[in-house]
A and B are shown apart, each in its own frame.
Chain A
Amino acid sequence: MARPRLKYLSDADKQFVHEQTLRVLSEVGVAYNTPTLTTLLTEAGATVDAEHLTAKLPWELIERCLKMVPGEVLLAGRDPAYDCRVGDGGMIYTSDGAATYMMDDLTGERHEGTQADLAQMMCLYDAVPEIDFTWATITPGDVDPRVGNLEMARIAFENSRKHLQDEVRRPDQAPVFIEMLEAIAGASLKERPIWSATNCTIAPLQHDAEMTEAHILMAKAGCPIFVLPMPQMGTTGPMSVLGTSILNMAELLSAVVLFQLAAPGCAMVSAVGSAVAEMRSGLYLSGTPEDGLINLCCIEMSKFYGLRSQGSAVSCDAKACDLQAGAEGMMTGLATALAGADVMLAFGLMDSAQTASLAKTVLDADTVNAIERFLRDDPVDEAQALVDDILEVGIGGHFLARRSTRQMYRAGALWQPALWHRASFEHYVGTPLVKDAWDRAHQLIEGNDVPPLPDDVRRHISALIAGYLRGRG
């Protein structure tokens, strides 16, 4: 069987990156910022500065914690038909997030995202079969920020049957989240983990106290943790692909230590969030070739540590569904897929993850399918070589009438896009691709029939959120 295989770092290069990462962790350390972890870290052998809440981590401790991370992660759907697994050999896809704006792809204008926009996007994600699980893609500006993530989870599960990944930003929200999620799942999260956490570290080398504490509670309840370091090359990361990758890996390993000490054996995935800074403005850039290389480097190093990995890809810095969006998305997508990531963060965002787009979501499905076709395992044998056909057709004939042509075409030898334009130029005059995509997205949304959550679950969720708000005063 043949399959494109990409290699970036040699074994010696990986060893070098590993040594540099260890040096950072053992000589500089990380700020864990969570007093509750001081004892755990001290007892585990870290050199702790309890006053500054920083710890230096020896390799022995990291190695011990890495061994506790499970190799396969269940991401349960609200509906079990949508369960997916990280690490079962195939690559799975999630939507990207969290945008501030919603794009009108036909006018090129955008507005601040609302609950209705989030509901629409989640409904579309539910309908697009290429999306295996979801992020709550838009942060709606019209919800009470005190319960933002709770409301986003409610909207997401009301409009999608797939697994949801998001953040819990305060530890006092975690019990509310757990009760809400278990009501939706109809089971404990250990049994049906319908939600997983994106745990963002704060570059360079810091953890957010509140989020870390909240996610430790979620991990203890059975939710998988996706660790997402986000150093930006040039600002919060050094000005090199390699240096930024080392920082990414140091933050990742430090999170592995914290979570495995606090919730031994909890499911964890290395999610590559490192990117590049636009040096004139400081803005985040997600579609540069350096983003592709950072993904490549960090996915290879995650595999070196035996961790499942998620690449950030198919996103773009483009401002519309234009050539730039396609080129940037395909570059990071191919880099992530060829590097052997288990999960790809893709679908729906543009403008450096600021803006969500319905049209791009469905166009990204073609991008992802083209990548899947490119990476497909194909046998290199007589059956694929079709040499008997070549010999029989001989000189100057054609292959249209061959049985193999019909059979292999029907079996998918030539991948067919859902939306991309392949017929004659005249066929598409006056119908830009983005209009077709926009129409297709609306068809999918209108035709989708996500069953509502049961009434008692909805009432329970409302009561939980209201109760939490009352508690916050």
Chain B
Amino acid sequence: MARAALTYLSEAERQFVHEQTVRVLADVGIGYNTPAAIDLLEEAGATVDRARLRARLPWELVERCLRTCPRTVRLVGREPGNDVLLGDGSLTFCTDGTGTYMYDDETGARTEGTAHDLREVMRLFDALPEVDYAWPSISARDLDPLTAGLEIEAISLACFGKHLQDEVREVAHVKPLLEIFEAAAGGSLWDRPIFSTIDCTIAPLQHEREMTEATMELVKAGVPVLILPMPLAGTTGPMSVLGTCIVNMAELLSAVVLFQLAQPGCGLISGVGAAAANMRTGDYLCGTPEVGLINVICIEMSRFYGLPVTGSAVTSDAKASNLQAGAEGMLTGLACALAGADSMLAFGLMDGAENVSLAKIVMDCDVVGMIKRFVRQEPIDASTALAADISEVGVGGHYLARRSTREFYRAGEIWQPRVLQRGSFEEFAGRPLAGEAAAQAREILATHAVAPLPDEVVSEIDAVIGRYARVVGAREDRIKWRA
């Protein structure tokens, strides 16, 4: 069997990166910024600085915590048939986030994201088989900020039947969110983890107090965690691919230690969020070749530590669904896939993850399809060599009438796009690709029905959000998750 696969670091180089990462954790340590973490870390053998809420982590502790991480992580879909197992050797695809604006590829205009946009985006994700699980990809800026943290998840649950992954930014959100997800799961999240959380560290070498405490609570309820360090080469990371990877891995391992101490055996995923800075503006750049390399190194190092890993890919710094968007997305996407990521973030984002485009979501399905075809495992034997056909057709014949041509074609030997344009120029004259993709998105949205949440689950979500609104003093008439 053959499968295109890429290697970057030699064994000695992996050892070097490992040693430098360990040196950072042991010599500088990590700002955990929460007393709850410091207690656990001190007890486990870390050298803590209580006043500054920091800890230095010896390798023995890191290694012990890595050993308790499961090698596979199950992400259960809200609806049956949508479960994903990360770490089983397959490649799966998640959506990216979180955009601030909705971009219209047909007019070139963008508008601030709304709850309506979030519904549309999640419904589209639900309909597209290329999307295995999803982040809520767009901010809903018209939601009441007091209840938005709950409403975004409620909207996503209602509009999306697959596994949901998102951040929980406030400790106060943990209890109501667990009630919501357990209601939708029909029981404990230990049994059916239909939600996983994203824990973003703050580069360099820090954890954010509220999110960390929230995540520590969530893991105790059976929620898997995507750890997403995000150092930017040049600003919050050093100005080298390698140095930025070392910061990424140090932050990752510091989170592994904390969450394994909080809940031994909890499901953790290494998310590669490190990227590059635009040095003239400080903006985040996600489509550069250096981002491809950072993903490759961090994926290799995550595998070195035995962790399932999610790469960041198929996104772009382009301002529209143009050649740049395709090239950047394919570079990072292929880099992640060839390096052996278990999943990758993809679909629909551009402009440094600021803008979400419905048309690009559809086009990215084809990008993802191409990547999957390229890394598909193929037998190298008589069954695929078709040597008998070559001999029989001989000199100057053709293969159109061969049985193997029909059979292999039907079996998917030539990957078929959903929207990319193949055929004569005339066939597509006056039909720009982005317009075709936008039309396909509209057609899907007009016809697709998401499996509804049961009435009792909707009532329970209503009740949970209502109670929370009263506690935080939000107006219940501004709650619009069901609108």
- Give 5 nearest A-B pairs by CB, closest first: A326-B326, A386-B243, A243-B386, A327-B326, A326-B327
Q: Counting CB contacts under 8 A, is B9 at the interface? A: yes
Q: Counting CB contacts under 8 A, is B447 at the interface? A: no
Rounded to whole Å, the gap between the CB of B354 and the closest CB of chain A is 7
Question: Which single member of B279, B296, B398 contacts A414 (CB below 8 Å)?
Answer: B279
Question: Contact between B413 and A235 (Cβ–Cβ < 8 Å)?
Answer: no
Contacts of A9 in B (CB 8 A): 2, 380
- What is the total number of residues of chain A having a CB less than 8 Å from a CB of chain B? 125
Question: Which single member of B393, B406, B429 contacts A204 (CB below 8 Å)?
Answer: B393
A398–B237 alpha-carbon span in the complex (Å): 7
Give the B-binding residues of A (Cβ under 8 A). 2-10, 13, 16-17, 20, 23-24, 27-31, 54, 101, 108, 110, 202, 204-206, 233-243, 246-247, 250, 276, 278-281, 283, 285, 288-290, 292-293, 296, 317-331, 334-335, 338, 351, 354-355, 360, 363, 366-367, 370-371, 373-374, 378, 380-381, 384-387, 389-391, 393-400, 402, 404-409, 413-415, 417, 420-425, 428-430, 432-434
Q: Per-residue 0/1 for B325-367: is the Cβ within 8 Å of any A Cβ (1 yes, 0 no)? A: 1111111001100100000000000010011000010010011
Question: Contact between A399 and B4 (Cβ–Cβ < 8 Å)?
Answer: no
Q: Counting CB contacts under 8 A, is B428 at the interface? A: yes
Question: Contact between B238 and A402 (Cβ–Cβ < 8 Å)?
Answer: yes
Rounded to whole Å, the gap between the CB of B333 and the closest CB of chain A is 8
Q: Per-residue 0/1 for B400-443: is the Cβ within 8 Å of any A Cβ (1 yes, 0 no)? A: 10101111110001110000111111001110111000000000
Tell me what chain A mostly uses at the interface: helix, strand, loop, or mixed. Answer: mixed
Rounded to whole Å, the gap between the CB of B55 and the closest CB of chain A is 10
Question: Which single member of B6, B237, B389 contacts A5 (CB below 8 Å)?
Answer: B6
Question: Contact between B327 and A330 (Cβ–Cβ < 8 Å)?
Answer: yes
Question: Contact between B326 and A391 (Cβ–Cβ < 8 Å)?
Answer: no
Looking across the interface, which residue of chain B has its beta carbon closest to that of A14?
Answer: B380
Looking across the interface, which residue of chain A has its beta carbon closest to that of B314?
Answer: A327
Question: Which single member of A20, A236, A414 contacts B233 (CB below 8 Å)?
Answer: A414
Question: Which single member of A3, A319, A394 contacts B425 (CB below 8 Å)?
Answer: A319
12 A–B contacts, CB within 8 A, in A order: A24-B390, A238-B399, A238-B402, A240-B404, A328-B420, A371-B289, A373-B289, A384-B243, A391-B28, A405-B239, A409-B279, A432-B108
Question: Contact between B2 and A13 (Cβ–Cβ < 8 Å)?
Answer: yes
Q: A24-B387, A360-B323 are in contact. Are A331 and B374 (CB under 8 A)?
A: yes
A4–B408 alpha-carbon span in the complex (Å): 32
Q: A241-B378, A319-B425 are in contact. Are A204 and B326 (CB under 8 A)?
A: no
Question: Contact between B395 and A206 (Cβ–Cβ < 8 Å)?
Answer: yes
Question: Which single member of B9, B23, B29, B404 contacts A238 (CB below 8 Å)?
Answer: B404
Question: Contact between B405 and A390 (Cβ–Cβ < 8 Å)?
Answer: no
Looking across the interface, which residue of chain B has its beta carbon closest to that of A405?
Answer: B239
Contacts of A385 in B (CB 8 A): 16-17, 20, 240, 242-243, 246
Question: Contact between B205 and A433 (Cβ–Cβ < 8 Å)?
Answer: no
Question: Contact between B283 and A424 (Cβ–Cβ < 8 Å)?
Answer: yes
Contacts of A13 in B (CB 8 A): 2, 380
A371–B407 alpha-carbon span in the complex (Å): 36
Question: Which single member of A206, A290, A331 contacts B413 (CB below 8 Å)?
Answer: A290
Looking across the interface, which residue of chain B has its beta carbon closest to that of A381?
Answer: B16
Q: Counting CB contacts under 8 A, is B285 at the interface? A: yes
Rounded to whole Å, the gap between the CB of B403 and the closest CB of chain A is 10
Q: A240-B384, A425-B355, A433-B322 are in contact. Are A279 and B409 (CB under 8 A)?
A: yes
Question: Contact between A395 and B205 (Cβ–Cβ < 8 Å)?
Answer: yes
Contacts of A394 in B (CB 8 A): 28, 204-205
Contacts of A20 in B (CB 8 A): 385, 387
Q: A24-B390, A29-B395 are in contact. Are A409 and B239 (CB under 8 A)?
A: yes
Question: Contact between B373 and A317 (Cβ–Cβ < 8 Å)?
Answer: no
Q: A30-B395, A240-B408, A242-B386 are in contact. Are A390 and B2 (CB under 8 A)?
A: no
Residues 17-39 (chain B) with a chain A CB within 8 angstroms: 17, 20, 23-24, 27-31
Looking across the interface, which residue of chain A has its beta carbon closest to that of B433?
Answer: A322
Question: Contact between A243 and B385 (Cβ–Cβ < 8 Å)?
Answer: yes
Question: Which single member of B380, B408, B432 contacts A17 (CB below 8 Å)?
Answer: B380
A317–B419 alpha-carbon span in the complex (Å): 12
Question: Contact between B386 and A386 (Cβ–Cβ < 8 Å)?
Answer: no
Question: Contact between A205 and B394 (Cβ–Cβ < 8 Å)?
Answer: yes
Question: Contact between B4 and A8 (Cβ–Cβ < 8 Å)?
Answer: yes
Q: Counting CB contacts under 8 A, is B381 at the interface? A: yes
Q: A243-B389, A338-B6, A380-B17 are in contact. Are A6 and B338 (CB under 8 A)?
A: yes
Question: Contact between A423 and B322 (Cβ–Cβ < 8 Å)?
Answer: no
Rounded to whole Å, the gap between the CB of B172 and the closest CB of chain A is 25
Question: Which single member of B279, B317, B360, B425 contacts A355 (CB below 8 Å)?
Answer: B425
Question: Contact between B13 and A380 (Cβ–Cβ < 8 Å)?
Answer: yes
